[in-house]
Structure 1
Amino acid sequence: MHSLTRFLLAAAPTIALAIHIPRQGVDFVDPRIDGGSMLDDAGNGLGEPLNVIISGLSSSPVLTSEGIVNYAKAIGFSEECLGIHLGDPQSANLGDGRGPVNQTIELRQDYGDPDLGTCLESLIGGNHFRVFPQTGPLHPTNALFLAVSQEENVSQSHTISPDGYNVGRNLLVSNAIGDTSFGGVNYHTEAQNLTGLLAVGSGGVNHDIALDGIVTLLTVTITN
C-alpha cells in the first residue's frame, strides 16, 4: 500500500471524531459580554455580587427549580421560613437576552433542620443566597448565578454582615465541596476560584462592603 494512502487511512478516524463530536455546553457565559453585570440590582442603584456560579456542565437535574432546592438542602440551606419572604426580590441581567430578571428563589441557612431551621436564620441571621438562571436566548447555558451573603439578625434588619459577601461565599463553598446528599440524591461538588469577573473593592456594591474579587465556580455531579 502506498505510504500516502496508509497515512490518510490512519488519520481518518481522528479527523472524523474532530468533526462530528460537538462541544456539549459551557460552564457559563460572562454576563458582561452582552450588556449584563456580575452585580445584581438591589433596587437602590447598587448591587450585590453574583459570587458563586453553579456550572452549566453540572448534572442537568441540579439546574432546575426543584433540583437547586434539593441541592441546597444537601449543603445546609432550605426555603424561607413558612414560605414567607420579607423584602423585595432583587433582579439580575445575565447578558442572556432577557434583560433584568427577578431572582427565582431565595434560600437560607437551615441550621440542620430543613423544615423549620430557616425560621431561626430569620431571627439570628446567617447565610443566604438568591438564584438567577442563565437561560435566555443569547446564552442558554442553564448555569445558576448565586448572590451569596452572610446577614445579621432581625434586630439589625437583616443587613449584610461586615465582609458578608466574601464570608457568605466561603461558607457556602466549604459546605458544598466533596460529597453530600439529601432526599436520596447524592452529589459530588468540585470548586474553582475565578478572578476578573468581579472588581476588587466596594464600587457599586450594596452597603459599601468591599469584595475580594473572587467568584467560585461549582460543578455539581449527581453520583447515583
Structure 2
Amino acid sequence: MYSIALALAGLFFRPAATALQKRAADFFDPALGGGSIFDNATFGGEPMNVIISGLSSPDVLTDDGVLNFVRAIGFSTECLGLHLGNPQSANLGDGDGLVNQTIGLREDFGSSALGTCLESAIGGNHLRVFRQNGPQADSGALFLAVSKEQPASKHHDIVPDGYNVGRDDLVSRAVGTKGFGGIFYDIQARNITGLMPAGSDGINHGIGVDGIVTLLTVTIQSTDGASS
C-alpha cells in the first residue's frame, strides 16, 4: 500500500519543469523557432547577414564588448549620439518574439569619436545588432544586419547590391587580429549557406542577396597572446 501511495503521489506532485538553460552553440536557426533571418524594415526585411558566434569570448557578446569590438574594425556609434531613422525589429526564434535592435553602428572612417558624422553625410557601411538570448534559444549570438548606404541626400537608401557589399566589407575588415582600447581580438570567419534564401523576394527595396551568412568567432587575446 505504501508503494502504491508513493506512485500516486508522483502523478500529482511532479516538480515544475525547469527553465531552459543557456546552451553552448554558435547560434540557433531563427526559422526553427518561428523567427526569420530577415529583420523588419520599411519596405521589406533586411538580411542579418553576419553572426557573431555565441562561442566567442563572453565579454565580446555584451553591449560594451561588441561596441569595443566593432570600433576595432572601423565602426562606432551614431553621429553625436543622434539616431537617424526608426529602429528595426527582428524575431530570432528565441521565444522573445519581435525585439528592437540593440544598437545601430556606422563606419567611422578612422575616427571613433566623429567619423560616423561623415558616414551620415556621404554614406558608407552600417550595421544593426540583434541579440539571440530568449528562453527558447539562448545562444547569446549577435545577429548583424549589415548594409552599405547612400548619402543623406539620398535618404540613406541602400546602394545596389548593398547587403552583399556591406557584409563583405565588414568581414574583410574583421578577419585576423584587430584591437581597440587595449583589447585585441582574433577573428575567424566561416561562410554559411542554407540559412538565408538567395534572391530579392520580400527584401527591403527589392535588393537581392546571394544567400550567404558569414559567421565570425571573436576571441579576446590576453597580453601574453593567450586566448580568453
After TM superposition, is the score higher than 0.5?
yes
Q: For 1:180 and 1:108, how far apart are their aligned partners in 2?
A: 18
> How far 1:24 sits from its partner (Å)?
6.6
Identify the match of residue 214 of structure 1 among 209, 212, 215: 212
TM-score, normalization: structure 2? Answer: 0.87
Which residue is 1:125 aligned to? 123
Residue 98 of structure 1 aligns with an amino acid whose one-letter code is: D
Identify the match of residue 73 of structure 2 among 53, 72, 75: 75
- Give the number of equivalent residue pairs: 201
Equivalence map 1:92-103=2 (5 Å): 92-103=90-101
Are positions 1:171 and 2:185 aligned together?
A: no
Equivalence map 1:45-194=2 (5 Å): 46-194=44-192
Which residue is 1:7 aligned to? none
Q: For 1:197 and 1:107, how far apart are their aligned partners in 2?
A: 24
Q: For 1:24 and 1:132, how far apart are their aligned partners in 2?
A: 18
Question: Runs of at least 4 residues of structure 1 off by over 3 A?
Answer: none
What SS does the aligned partner of 1:160 have? Answer: coil
Contact residue 23 and residue 139 of structure 2 kept, 8 A:
no
TM-score, normalization: structure 1? Answer: 0.88
Contact residue 42 and residue 204 of structure 2 kept, 8 A:
no
Q: For 1:178 and 1:154, how far apart are their aligned partners in 2?
A: 32
Which residue is 2:34 aligned to? 35
Q: Which runs of 5+ in 2 are unaligned?
A: 1-21, 223-228
Which residue is 1:17 aligned to? none
Q: For 2:72 and 2:215, how far apart are their aligned partners in 1?
A: 18
Residue 27 of structure 1 aligns with an amino acid whose one-letter code is: D
Compute the RMSD of aligned alpha carbons: 1.0
Residue 87 of structure 2 aligns with an amino acid whose one-letter code is: P
